[in-house]
Amino acid sequence: MEDDAPVIYGLEFQARALTPQTAETDAIRFLVGTQSLRYDNQIHIIDFDDENNIINKNVLLHQVGEIWHISTSPADKGVLATCYNKTSDTKVMTCAAVWRMPKELESGSHESPDDSSSNTQTLELLCHLDNTAHGNMACVMWEPMGDGKKIISLADNNILLWDLQESSAKAVLSSSAALEGKGQLKFTSGRWSPHHNCTQIATANDTTVRGWDTRSMRQIYCIENAHGQLVRDLDFNPNKQYYLASCGDDCKVKFWDTRNVTEPVKTLEEHSHWVWNVRYNHSHDQLILTGSSDSRVILSNMVSISSEPFGHMVDDDELSDQEDQHQEEKIKEPLQDSVIATYEEHEDSVYAVEWSSADPWLFASLSYDGRLVINRVPRALKYHILL
């Protein structure tokens, strides 16, 4: 029986990197990367068995350094990319690499290894994304719905588009663009839009959000002072091609129509500290997840700017006359935006929130103390959306 109670897993390491295993659409699976200066870093593969409400984990060694960002191939369950810190000659660089996990761990399973002490396995390095000329890697994005051969990395003020060749054993830089301007320009994050044939990305640097065309590598829109302070994260609405969400250190979450960027379409001000992460639900775009340094995860119902602002449309043929009249009255009134739930299971900054790629009603959040929490959209709301 599914239950709305959270399931909590402690990594025993500090952590800030979280991703669903994008190519896995049957089993509920997340990957978490650790940040430890004293020990070898690890990637924890978290399989959630939702029938029994338990977590099974496998651990992969990531010996090259602390993990700052992790992302998974949309096409190959076994392939992932990390951005990590590498110390050489007293200088710390953030590098990026593409890895393959052991074959037997590629698919989500409900079996935990029998002996938890000896189950640490190693990642196979496929290739480095060479950034010697370009600076520190902030993130790696995979082309959405792609074949896992195209990735973009953001390094300092550079956008780098790579082709993965020879079964991902080689990354070839196919094009790039640089952010021009005064001062130390640095990208903090970016997202690849699933719309426009995957030819657009959005980036954040300082308080500015920009859109880019990946074919010409030219800027297509610019939202200056999108936030009062640093912009931390971005996400595209999966169903409305011009809609983009942003969040930042001004404690706000903003929603933009990229065709007219003078004003946000909507602003959420529910957090009391920096907002690190914003994520649209992949199926029901009114559901928005945010995580913040106020230690809270907030699930909002932004139905007025969603692809179904009047709720779930019912086919006229299915209604009797009486219901029909009622339905017409209902249609005139758009549904109200609201905070659905605030989750307080974390005691430290929540650096990452992610929806499952297998179950649209399930999400994970990660706080810096290594606590991973798996939660579900409240059942009442789920049925309200579905019925």
CB distance 98 to 126 below 8 Å: yes
Rg (CA), the chain: 21
C-alpha dist (Å) from residue 323 to 315, 326, 384, 386 = 11, 5, 17, 18
> What's the confidence (pLDDT) of residue 285?
96
Name 171's Cβ contacts closer than 8 Å, sequence gap at least 6.
98, 127, 128, 129, 130, 151, 162, 163, 164, 165
Q: How confident is the model at residue 333 (pLDDT cuts 50, 70, 90)?
A: low
CA–CA gap between residue 125 and residue 385 (Å, rounded): 43
pTM of the model: 0.91
**Could you tell me which CATH number the domain at 8-104+119-177 has?**
2.130.10.10
Query: Is the confidence at residue 1, as pLDDT, over 50?
Result: no
Q: Is the pLDDT of residue 324 over 60?
A: no
Mean pLDDT of the chain: 90
Which residue type, as a one-letter code, is found at position 97?
Answer: A
3-state class of 174 per DSSP?
strand
Tokens 């956008």, located at residue: 159
What is the DSSP-derived secondary structure letter of residue 322? Answer: H
Pairing assessment for the beta strands 79-88 and 28-34 based on DSSP bridges: unpaired
pLDDT over threshold 70, residue 329? no
- Rounded to whole angstroms, the Cα distance separating 351 from 274 reads 10
Structure tokens at 239: 């169903």
Share of the chain above pLDDT 90, in %: 77
Q: For the segment 36-89, what is each residue's pLDDT rounded down to a tens digit?
A: 888 899 999 999 999 999 999 999 999 999 999 999 999 999 999 999 999 877
Do residues 18 and 71 lie in contact, with contact meaning Cβ atoms separated by under 8 Å? no
**pLDDT attached to residue 111:** 59
Q: Distance between CA 346 and CA 8 in Å, rounded?
A: 10
Region 122-132 average pLDDT: 92
Q: Do domains 8-104+119-177 and 183-306+331-386 have the same CATH topology?
A: yes
Q: Has residue 229 got a pLDDT over 50?
A: yes
- CA atoms of 208 and 20, how far apart (whole Å): 27
Q: Which of 18-32, 82-96, 98-112, 121-135 has the highest mean pLDDT?
A: 18-32
Q: pLDDT exceeding 70 applies to what percent of the chain?
A: 90
Pairwise pLDDT comparison (184 vs 288), residue with the higher score = 288
Q: Where are the domains of the chain?
A: 8-104+119-177, 183-306+331-386
* CATH 3.40.50.300 for domain 183-306+331-386: no
- Tokens describing residue 86: 């590498």
What's the pLDDT at 149? 96
The residue ranking higher by pLDDT, 1 or 170, is 170
Strands of 229-383, DSSP E: 231-236, 243-248, 253-257, 266-268, 275-280, 287-292, 297-301, 338-343, 350-355, 362-367, 371-376
Better-scored residue on pLDDT, 209 or 318: 209
Strands (DSSP E) along 50-199, which ranges? 54-62, 67-72, 79-88, 91-100, 120-122, 124-129, 137-142, 150-155, 158-165, 170-178, 187-192
Residue 299 · residue 288 · CB < 8 Å? yes
